[in-house]
Structure 1
């Protein structure tokens, strides 16, 4: 029998409100940046603040559970989702999404070996831990700011300080686990990490039970961006190149303009994004592509005198999960740019014929989109 068969499920129902207060059941989800204080102290606030802001933005944009953002608390983000609890598999998928996006972004920044920030990251221990709790809370508005209140909010925050001997893990409170069946819990962890049992005593709260799992095994899925040129070492990579009769920085402006994407990306019809954040790294936008929709996030942009690199992360692309799209722009002369697009993905399906077919389609898609981009850039440059 599962936990739902043995214990009360009052907290798991969306109508479980107290008669004498305004509390409501909700998931409380807190991703916290481990090593934050040490990194800021060693690097300095002037140098580290942009990176930390980008990392927090990436955490917020990775919200696939459609949670509400309550507040950013220094090195942590407080999410909540009122109503019935999501499944444990949904929660783990959310943890994986945030962890991989976070680590992939760090790898890209580290690769810029000429920067002082890259040197600082080389010796840092920045990573993520996530606390998941389920209970009652009250939502209060204080001067246009949402504030969560209640004992369970306190418990969730206290659980950030625990007895887990690691700095990258997901911790699930017993209150959340009681809403799931033991079989569902087992299946969510069985093929990638081990779920362990723990507890910590807190003043005024007593002993709080929880289970936790290290996120470290997910590092095997983190993309190594430092060398994507070797097809033998990185077989899940392919590219396409073209020479464009326009300056490199002009081409970059066209590539990074969300509004212009449907004008050159084959099969794309609409793009949806927050216009107030259009020029920020970590910005995410949705695209209608053929008969579906994908999410894309701007990850990084390096601009040099003779070389530019622009990177985007692709989500909800079932065939090629955890995919990254690299745009390499090399200055030929003041009027010509060599543009190379490299598509790198994680392989999860073992069917060779399927991948051969889909890789062929993807190569054709990239090639045609690149020719469209060349035509668009040259036409707009002549018209300016």
Structure 2
């Protein structure tokens, strides 16, 4: 099986499990809100291919052939900044729709974090679905289980940060040693996403968009609140 070198990036919604459980009564709205946010996140990752949506996370990759170390790191941070802003814009649009349910009004509880790694991958196709496989794919997923103490961050592996001159990255990184299951002690580096780019004001949705968003949420929620009809029982013969 042929392998290639790829940049692996996972965008993971923080607080997702608690959000979905707390808003179980309006599950349709909670699902629609997180789906909309993930869709905007993936759309903002220019140059990356979506490999899979994994519940509350999007797993993306791009080939690094022709990119040197600093360029690979720069591609990562550009994508993270764009995806982070897209997430927060859509989160605000959801929160400002006119539906008063707890799911819509409490989307501000959700955050977005990222992990990134560069390594060797192979492509596996099963029933026309393309997947990436290999130890480095496992490695980047293991990075999600970490000890980082900030809510929104970019955590990169030593392979990614070390592929360039770490002294010249210009990133406010700090080392956070990890002990990853199956890999043991490793070096990783974290940066607060808020420090990657100067914050810009988030736009407010127009009234037309607020109305459209509200109607969309109502439609998504109807199957979860309408009573389910039991099938009519046939009268016994005779």
TM interval, short-chain normalised: 0.7 to 0.9
Structure 2: gaps (5+ residues): 216-238
Task: Say yes or no: does 1:75 pair with 2:56.
Answer: yes
1:56 is aligned to 38
Which SS does the other structure have where 2:177 is aligned? Answer: strand
Task: Say yes or no: does 1:302 pair with 2:211.
Answer: yes
CA contact (8 A) 1:25 1:136 kept: yes
Choose which of 194, 198, 202 in structure 1 pairs with 2:176: 198
Task: Say yes or no: does 1:155 pair with 2:64.
Answer: no
Which SS does the other structure have where 1:201 is aligned? Answer: strand
Structure 1: gaps (5+ residues): 1-20, 229-251, 253-299, 309-384
Task: Pick which of 44-53 and 25-34 moved more.
Answer: 44-53
Choose which of 214, 218, 230 in structure 1 pairs with 2:192: 214
Q: How does 1:247-266 map to 2 (within 5 A)?
A: none
Name the TM-score, length of structure 1 as normaliser. Answer: 0.50
CA contact (8 A) 1:89 1:184 kept: no
CA contact (8 A) 1:27 1:132 kept: yes
Q: CA deviation at 1:52?
A: 1.1
Q: Judging changes above 3 Å, is the alpha-carbon distance between structure 1 residues 68 and 146 closer, same or farther for their aligned structure 2 residues?
A: same
Q: CA deviation at 1:115?
A: 2.8
CA distance in 1, matches of 2:74, 2:182: 32
CA contact (8 A) 2:30 2:104 kept: no
Q: How does 1:1-384 map to 2 (within 5 A)?
A: 21-44=1-24, 45-64=27-46, 66-84=47-65, 85=67, 86-112=71-97, 114-116=99-101, 117-121=103-107, 124-185=108-169, 187=170, 189=171, 194-217=172-195, 220-223=199-202, 225=204, 300-303=209-212
CA distance in 2, matches of 1:88, 1:184: 11
Q: CA deviation at 1:34?
A: 0.7
CA contact (8 A) 1:62 1:101 kept: yes
Which SS does the other structure have where 1:47 is aligned? Answer: helix
CA distance in 1, matches of 2:159, 2:212: 48
Q: Judging changes above 3 Å, is the alpha-carbon distance between structure 1 residues 101 and 222 closer, same or farther for their aligned structure 2 residues?
A: farther
More helix by share: 2
CA contact (8 A) 1:43 1:120 kept: no
Which SS does the other structure have where 2:199 is aligned? Answer: helix
CA distance in 2, matches of 1:303, 1:177: 43
The total of aligned residue pairs comes to: 206
Per-residue CA deviation, residues 280-327 of structure 1 (Å, 9 max, x unaligned), is: xxxxxxxxxxxxxxxxxxxx55249xxx9xxxxxxxxxxxxxxxxxxx
Q: Judging changes above 3 Å, is the alpha-carbon distance between structure 1 residues 181 and 47 closer, same or farther for their aligned structure 2 residues?
A: same
CA contact (8 A) 2:116 2:160 kept: yes
Q: Judging changes above 3 Å, is the alpha-carbon distance between structure 1 residues 88 and 203 closer, same or farther for their aligned structure 2 residues?
A: closer
More strand by share: 1
CA contact (8 A) 1:104 1:222 kept: no
Per-residue CA deviation, residues 243-299 of structure 1 (Å, 9 max, x unaligned), is: xxxxxxxxx8xxxxxxxxxxxxxxxxxxxxxxxxxxxxxxxxxxxxxxxxxxxxxxx
Q: Which has the larger radius of gyration?
A: 1
